A and B are shown apart, each in its own frame.
Chain A
Amino acid sequence: AQTVTQSQPEMSVQEAETVTLSCTYDTSESDYYLFWYKQPPSRQMILVIRQEAYKQQNATENRFSVNFQKAAKSFSLKISDSQLGDAAMYFCAYRSAFMKTSYDKVIFGPGTSLSVIP
């Protein structure tokens, strides 16, 4: 069974600085999708960035980028020029590229709470 691990329960970063959130996963599959979701305090969870395992190029979305190391099964999120609005719980998630059952199960990590210091 696949698992997702986020070893940093809490992190903090100074405003305008760069921070990297770690995520590792375990799978025997070769094709899959990886996601970072952001859940601001008292607000809806939203997708930040997604990576397709068959693509070697790391995904980027504005100030957010990932470092995808397939062999190491590592998927870290880098936030550049951190802003106060980046303060949130961040979840790393995994989904198989093939539907083996009738639903596309997404496996979430335990989350990392990011604080941004003014």
Chain B
Amino acid sequence: DVKVTQSSRYLVKRTGEKVFLECVQDMDHENMFWYRQDPGLGLRLIYFSYDVKMKEKGDIPEGYSVSREKKERFSLILESASTNQTSMYLCASSAYPGGWAVTDTQYFGPGTRLTVL
């Protein structure tokens, strides 16, 4: 079974703090994703990575950055946390078969519920 783990289930931070959310997958997947989940809005893509050191912005990248130094690990960074970043953050990974083939199903981590005070 694919396993995607996130470093924390619950996190409370203060406004202005630098926040790191870590995600690790154990299936050698090429693609990794960070989503933000808010009630009534579903999941919105923050950033995506398709290879080590490669990243692309999703729909709502403002206020966030990411790092992928190793294939299995994808970090989301809030440089200066703000109260409007209070949310549930989901990490996901998927395999990439190559070429123009559609990638495989995305597998999700348990989520990190971040509260910024």
Q: Kindly identify, within residues 22 to 76 of chain B, every residue whose CB is under 8 Å from any CB belonging to chain A.
A: 31, 40-45, 48, 50, 56, 58
Are A102's CB and B56's CB within 8 A? Answer: yes
Are B105's CB and A104's CB within 8 A? Answer: no
Asked whether any CB of chain A lies closer than 8 Å to the CB of B93, the reply is no
Asked whether any CB of chain A lies closer than 8 Å to the CB of B83, the reply is no
Looking at A39-47, A56-64, A80-88, the stretch in contact with chain B turns out to be: A39-47
Q: Number of B residues whose C-beta is below 8 Å from A?
A: 23
Interface size class of A (residues with CB under 8 A): 20 to 34
Instruction: Say whether, besides A33-B102, A95-B102, A99-B100, A43 and B110 are in contact (CB < 8 Å).
Output: yes
B44 / chain A contacts, CB cutoff of 8 Å: 108
A42 / chain B contacts, CB cutoff of 8 Å: 110
Which label, helix, strand, loop or mixed, suits the secondary structure of the A interface?
Answer: loop
| A103 CB, nearest partner CB in chain B, Å | 5
Q: Kindly identify, within residues 93 to 114 of chain A, every residue whose CB is under 8 Å from any CB belonging to chain B.
A: 95, 97-99, 101-106, 108-111
Instruction: Say whether, besides A44-B110, A99-B100, A91 and B45 are in contact (CB < 8 Å).
Output: no
Instruction: Say whether, besides A45-B90, A103-B50, A103-B56, A108 and B42 are in contact (CB < 8 Å).
Output: yes
A residues adjacent to B (C-beta < 8 A): 4, 9, 33, 35, 37, 42-47, 50, 91, 95, 97-99, 101-106, 108-111
Instruction: Say whether, besides A33-B102, A104-B103, A109 and B108 are in contact (CB < 8 Å).
Output: no
Cα A46 to Cα B90 with chains together (Å):
12
Are B42's CB and A104's CB within 8 A? Answer: no
Are B42's CB and A106's CB within 8 A? Answer: no
A109 / chain B contacts, CB cutoff of 8 Å: 42
Are B110's CB and A102's CB within 8 A? Answer: no
Q: Which residue of A4, A47, A105, A108 is within 8 Å of B105 (Cβ)? A: A47
Instruction: Say whether, besides A103-B48, A104-B103, A44 and B109 are in contact (CB < 8 Å).
Output: yes
